[in-house]
Amino acid sequence: MNTNSKTDKICHFCSQNIKIVDFKNTELLRRFTSAQGKIMPRKRSFLCAKHQRYLASAIKRARFMALLPVSAR
């Protein structure tokens, strides 16, 4: 029996009807970074391609503005 159904992999932003990913929302951005501070890949974050690109640019922008650490030590 296949346990990996399509309903398990719904994009968080599409299901919540979020249009843009704000770089100032650090709590949301931390959910999609690993313990080392790396951006999670699409297979682990379960985002669609469009929102994964928006998320990556928002995380990079937040790192540049010093809202998120570049690497977690």
Each residue of 27-44: pLDDT tens digit?
Answer: 999 999 999 999 999 999
pLDDT of residue 11: 92
In the predicted structure, residue 23 carries a pLDDT above the cut 90: yes
Q: Which domains does the chain have, with CATH numbers?
A: 12-64 (4.10.640.10)
| pTM given for the model | 0.84
pLDDT of residue 71: 83
pLDDT of residue 56: 97
The answer to whether 17 and 49 have CB atoms below 8 angstroms apart is: no
DSSP 70: S
**Model pLDDT for residues 40-60, shown as the tens digit of each residue:** 999 999 999 999 999 999 999
**DSSP states along 7-49:** GGG--HHHHTT-----TT-HHHHHHTB-TTSPBPPHHHH---H
